[in-house]
Structure 1
Amino acid sequence: MKKKKLKIILSYIGAIFLVIIGLSFFYIKTNSYQPSSKALSFSQKSETQGSTLVFKGNPKKTSVIFYQGALVDNRSYSIWASKLAAKGHTVYLLKEPLNLAVLNPNQASLVIKANKLNNYVVGGHSLGGVIASRFAKKSETDSSLKGVFFLASYPDKKGNLSNFKGDVLSIVGAQDNILNWSSYKKAKQYLPKETSYVTIEGGNHGGFGSYGSQKGDKKAKISNNQQQEEISQTLIDWLDKVN
């Protein structure tokens, strides 16, 4: 009798657990930031490798592997990605489970292996930048990794790149109200002294992609088109200098 009651209790607990998991997945999926119509249009220029969007460039030039921001659809970064590809840099926009880079932090390694990349940089937006730094930390001895870049992001202790020999770029928007500025400043201890820092005046957090306004962010003082242009040009200039 006791065993039967225990089974019933456990079955109820299991059912409740599944409901909670299901609701959590539904909440995350329905609250993800979707790409603007312009970003969707630019995404049509890409090819797909599994769930990764690939904007083809010149295979002889440095490739770019990018981790999306938390709950941001990877197609939202298609505008600046397309502009980089037009200048010869193949861009891989990773698509993470539930749009959360932390759920598959080593996805970049699959792209590298599948495409036999021997000249690449890795970067990310917001949480994606943190994951990119951790990946780079694990790959510090890989001579194919030429650089790391951060869009409204910074490394944590697990992604300490203070001894990294490659090039590092950090871009922020002056109107960003999502970025933890105190943590951003403290995290500079985890970056090389030669890191390049760029501030987009009037740019905000959501403007590093193209997916509309983000909850808690400040309103940008420049158009999304302008911020996309400044991001792409800054990245192109940096990539031209990457060894």
Structure 2
Amino acid sequence: MFGSLGALILLAVVGFLLYANIGVMAADPDDLAAVRADPSISLTDAGGAWVMAPTAGAGDTGLVFIPGAKVDPLAYAATLAGVVDDGVTVVITKPTLNLAFFDLRPLSAFTDLVPGIDAWSVGGHSLGGVKACQLAEDADGLVLFGSYCANDLSGTELPALSISGSQDGLSTPQKIDDAKHLLPADAEFVVIEGGNHAGFGAYGPQAGDGEATIPDTEIRAQITDVLGPFLLETVPQSQ
């Protein structure tokens, strides 16, 4: 009996590990190559995360960004390059088993990688955004890409920015709207008209998603236009 139970548990564990590690959506090689070739951006493997920093003129503002489920962290490098050019340092986490829910590291595990930053926001895409909400009380700001909170932050004064896509077939406009009440009352909501779920990263199409009606480059430009001012002007700097 116990031998059979152990075998079933082993099979379940092996099956889950296969699920977590097979089918990870890879970063688009051309978009990633463009980031690596950009002389204004330093992209460094810090072990448990990737650090994107301005090569000159780095400021005192940082963002810890958590990828969506089974998405290569580097798939977000092209999306976040715009705010790095604005002087923001970005730490993109490498979630345990490619799923943010299994990453038990505190926010400090990532912020400690870059000393000297005065204001740290935490953000994420899809499931990564749900995880970011859970870490938000240790941050100075919260950023959601095609995502929403499962925990209640409505009683906080945390600056929060939600960017969503009108064509998102996964984190649909209705789902975003239904979870609004969990964010602070003055949270900023921005909808990218024509943007879909996969457009927040550079990893190709995603099952169940809607079809974008604008190019990925336009989605990224709109993200930068909103995210940069939020991080640099809205999120308070520590004294």
Q: TM-score, normalised by structure 1?
A: 0.86
Aligned to 1:20: 12
Q: Stretches of 4+ moved more than 4 A in 1? A: none
Bigger radius of gyration among the two: 1
RMSD value over aligned CA atoms? Answer: 1.9
- Would the aligned equivalents of 1:173 and 1:199 in 2 still touch at CA under 8 Å? yes
User: Is residue 149 of structure 1 aligned with residue 158 of structure 2?
Assistant: no
The within-5 A match list for 1:1-243 is 9-42=1-34, 44=36, 45-57=42-54, 58-116=57-115, 117-137=117-137, 139=138, 145-156=139-150, 158=151, 160-242=152-234, 243=236
C-alpha distance 52-84 of structure 1, shift in aligned 2 (>3 A): same
SS of the aligned residue for 1:54 comes to strand
SS of the aligned residue for 1:64 comes to strand
- Of Structure 1 and Structure 2, the greater helix share is in 1
* Most deviating of 126-135 and 225-234: 225-234
* Residues 145-199 of structure 1: CA deviation (Å, up to 9, x unaligned): 321111111111x2x2213223211100011010144432221111122111111
- Would the aligned equivalents of 1:39 and 1:77 in 2 still touch at CA under 8 Å? no
CA displacement at 1:43 relative to structure 2: 5.4
CA distance in 2, matches of 1:11, 1:195: 53
CA distance in 2, matches of 1:106, 1:184: 26
CA displacement at 1:59 relative to structure 2: 4.9
CA displacement at 1:92 relative to structure 2: 0.3
Work out the number of aligned pairs and report it.
Answer: 227
Q: TM-score, normalised by structure 2?
A: 0.87
CA displacement at 1:27 relative to structure 2: 2.6
CA displacement at 1:18 relative to structure 2: 2.0
Structure 1 runs not aligned, ≥5 long:
1-8, 140-144
SS of the aligned residue for 1:172 comes to strand
CA distance in 2, matches of 1:170, 1:98: 26
CA distance in 2, matches of 1:43, 1:94: 17
C-alpha distance 184-222 of structure 1, shift in aligned 2 (>3 A): same
CA displacement at 1:64 relative to structure 2: 0.5
CA distance in 2, matches of 1:147, 1:16: 43
Aligned to 1:5: none
Quick one: which amino acid aligns to residue 122 of structure 1? Answer: V
Structure 2 runs not aligned, ≥5 long:
37-41
Aligned to 1:4: none
CA distance in 2, matches of 1:107, 1:78: 22
CA displacement at 1:82 relative to structure 2: 2.0
Q: Percent identity?
A: 30
CA distance in 1, matches of 2:172, 2:222: 22
